[in-house]
Amino acid sequence: MTPVVLITGASSGIGAALAKVFAAHGHEVALVARRQDRLDALADEITARGGRRPAVLSADLERRDAVAKIAAELSARGLEPAVVVNNAGFGLTGAAAGLSRDQQLAMVDLNVRALTELSLMFVDSLARHRGGILNVASLAAFLPGPGMAVYYASKAYVLSFSEALHRELSDRGVRVTALCPGPVPTEFQARAGLSLDPATRVLELSAERVAQIGYDAFMAGKRVAVAGMGNRIAASLMRFVPHALLLRLVDQRGRVTPVAE
């Protein structure tokens, strides 16, 4: 079986940037997202740059059978994950009680359930190849988020889960890194209905820069990588600010949000 880097949410933004970074460093990648045309275009671009042509798998990870189908398709192509990059996700802006419950539960399915299943599905092959898991969390994982309550909570789960797996799987030679970006100008912001104030824009990084930070941290075996000096300072300060104050600040200033596709 040929080892590959399996990347979800690879059709745009951070996911596409991560695919390019892994491919540029000689990894064979398998791209997963819903939009076949975007994946094909990205595969063409990676091939044109001299990389091996990526495998393309169109899948909707909100479906309960999606991960099993991905595993079966990889096996049928003679591929197995050496690295899993869980980037797929989305957010919604608004009071939780006023937003669609179905959409919020779909967010939990994608941001939490699918990420968990993908993280655990391929542990044996990750261990065989001394690879690992790169989970895209968020700066939002470090604080509660009124106005995006379910999204913030889902990213807190990703951070906690990834840190625990980092410890549990270390004896098997499996690296696990949680990548925590701040604001990133991608389609995520448009889908979530976000508009960033000038103070928050200072923390923005490009998807390409975040992807490189994530790749470097994963290869170095780091447990958590907060992308960007400003975001690292913000994450450190949050540990000392009472949650009651953080709640007011987030609610009044707009969301400290970022990323994930």
Shortest CA distance to 57 belongs to which of 26, 29, 84?
29
Q: Is the separation of the CB atoms in 246 and 159 below 8 Å?
A: no
Point out the residues that are catalytic. Answer: 151
C-alpha to C-alpha distances, 8 to 74, 198, 240, nearest whole angstrom: 14, 31, 34
Length of the chain (residues): 261
Q: Is the separation of the CB atoms in 172 and 127 below 8 Å?
A: yes
Please, what is the end-to-end C-alpha distance for the chain in angstroms?
Answer: 29
Q: Which residues contact 108 (CB under 8 A, 6 or more apart)?
A: 150, 154
Q: Which residues contact 16 (CB under 8 A, 6 or more apart)?
A: 10, 38, 42, 207
